Amino acid sequence: MKKVVNRRASSPAVTRSEPRMNPAKLGILLFICAEIMFFAGLISAFAVFRFSPVQWPPAGQPRLPVQITAVNTIILLLSGVTFFLAFKALKAAKDNSFKNLLTATAALGLIFLLIQGVEWIHLLQFGLTVHSSIFGGFFYCLVGMHGFHVAGGMVALLFVVTRAWQGAYSSKVTLGVELCRMYWFFVVGLWPVLFALVYL
């Protein structure tokens, strides 16, 4: 029973409080981690079929609209850029450009969802449904799950935009914008991966 005790413990001076991360940010970060694991599961399931020796996409299924979705991808990525710039503007206390850029982000997000919706209607008309094939099932599950997450992000974003125009944020008060930004970057960053895997 000698020298088993931790040496640091004996010094009562160690009472400082460590720097603590903001709980809300940490919460969102962990939430995104769980989301990444969810999509990793979905994508790896998809990859089993996508990269199997069987012909993919299966014969007789409508081709996916690659060009228009490529444009749409750029639109969503742009929304990420505008959000990035909006936050910089907020930090630099440029209130007007912050509000305008944030609104532009929401507008770009809405356009993305709108184009996705229109394309879905086309595909359904061409006969691609969840039970027309595994291809169709995965298309709607993967792209639909992402769309669902963008829609969820939109709700948060519209809330933040409304609050921004009410003047709720300043270069000192940024938490709401930051949380929304973290989540928005996740849905924006995920999309090119899905686009490359599903469409190309």
Partner 1 sequence: MSHDSHKQSFISHYIFSTDHKMIAKQFLLLSIIMACLGGFMAYLIRWEVAFPNVPAPFFGLVSPDKFNAIITLHGTIMIFFVGMPFLAAFPSNFFIPLMIGARDMAFPKLNLASFWLTFTGAVLLVASFFVPGGPVAGGWVGYPPLSASSEFAGVKWGAALWILSLAMAFFSSSVGGLNYLVTVISLRAPGMTYSRVPMTVWFLLGSAVTFFFSVGPLIAGAFMLLMDNMFGTGFFLPAKGGEPMLWEHLFWFFGHPEVYVLFFPALGMGLDIMATFTRKPIFGYKLILGSTVGAITLSFIVWAHHMFLSGLNPVLATPFSITTILISIPFAIIIFCMFASLRHGAIRMELPFLWMVGFLATFLVGGLTGIFLGSASADIYLHGTYFVVAHFHYTLFPSVFFGGFSGVYYWFSKMYGRELNKKLGLLHLVLTFIFFNGTFWPLFRVGIGGMIRRIADPSFYPQYQQFANWNIFCTISAIALIASQAIFLWNIVWSMTHGPKAVKNPYDSNTLEWLADSPPPHGNWGAKLPIVTGDPYEYSKPGEAKDWRSQAQNL
What residue ranges bind partner 1 (CB under 8 A)? 1-2, 4-6, 8-9, 12, 14-18, 20-23, 26-27, 30-31, 33-42, 44-45, 48-49, 54, 58, 130-131, 133-134, 136-138, 141, 145
Do residues 28 and 179 lie in contact, with contact meaning Cβ atoms separated by under 8 Å?
Answer: yes
Do residues 80 and 184 lie in contact, with contact meaning Cβ atoms separated by under 8 Å?
Answer: yes
Least distance in angstroms from the C-beta of 145 to partner 1:
8
Query: In terms of CB distance, is 58 or 167 closer to partner 1?
Result: 58
Query: In terms of CB distance, is 57 or 153 closer to partner 1?
Result: 57
| C-alpha distances out from residue 133 to 21, 30, 113, 171, Å | 47, 35, 24, 51
Query: In terms of CB distance, is 22 or 171 closer to partner 1?
Result: 22
The alpha carbon of residue 103 and the mean position of all alpha carbons in its chain are separated, in whole angstroms, by 17
Query: In terms of CB distance, is 26 or 114 closer to partner 1?
Result: 26
